[in-house]
């Protein structure tokens, strides 16, 4: 019954009037929910896979600070101190930083 939306809409408006009257309001008053609903926005098209593909040779794997500390057999506090001294390269992210695995391997080799 997709083609007969006007009849369905009239039923919706009638039900709204009936609900207003049952609540003791003016059945012909206007409220926030009057009118037809807006159409949903269409989803953006997916990105072109060729554009977002990265060169595997430039891919950089990262670890959180907790993961890096575990691999280095140190506490998170000790790792924070090493980072504060500038002995470890970190990458900023939205809510903190991460450590490239290459840095963890470099520290392990020391």
What is the sign of the dihedral through the CA atoms of 97, 103, 105 and 109?
Answer: negative
Most confident of 33-37, 44-48, 51-55, 83-87: 83-87
Q: How many CB atoms lie within 10 A of CB 79?
A: 20
The structural domains of the chain, with segments of one domain joined by +, span 1-39, 56-109
Task: Select from 73, 67, 65, 71 the least CA-distant residue to 89.
Answer: 65
CB 20 within 8 A of CB 26: yes
The mean pLDDT of 16-34, rounded to a whole number, is 84
Q: What is the pLDDT of residues 49-78, one digit of tens each?
A: 665 556 677 778 899 999 999 999 999 999
- Label residue 106 by pLDDT band (50, 70, 90): very high
Tokens standing for 26?
């003016």
CB 102 within 8 A of CB 71: no
Tokens standing for 64?
């959180």
| Bigger pLDDT: 67 vs 2 | 67
Tell me the C-alpha distance between 76 and 83, whole Å.
10
Tell me the C-alpha distance between 80 and 27, whole Å.
65
Report pTM.
0.49
- When the pLDDT of each residue in the chain is averaged and rounded to a whole number, the result is 83
The mean pLDDT of 79-107, rounded to a whole number, is 91
């Amino acid at each position: 019954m997709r083609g007969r939306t006007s009849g369905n809409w009239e039923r919706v408006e009638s039900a709204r009037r009936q609900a207003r009257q049952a609540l003791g309001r003016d059945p012909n008053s206007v409220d926030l929910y009057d009118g037809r609903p807006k159409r949903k926005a269409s989803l953006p098209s997916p990105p072109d896979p060729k554009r977002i593909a990265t060169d595997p040779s430039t891919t950089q794997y990262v670890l959180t600070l907790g993961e890096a500390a575990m691999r280095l057999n140190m506490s998170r506090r000790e790792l924070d101190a090493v980072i504060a001294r500038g002995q470890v390269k970190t990458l900023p992210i939205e809510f903190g930083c991460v450590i490239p695995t290459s840095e963890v391997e470099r520290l392990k080799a020391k």
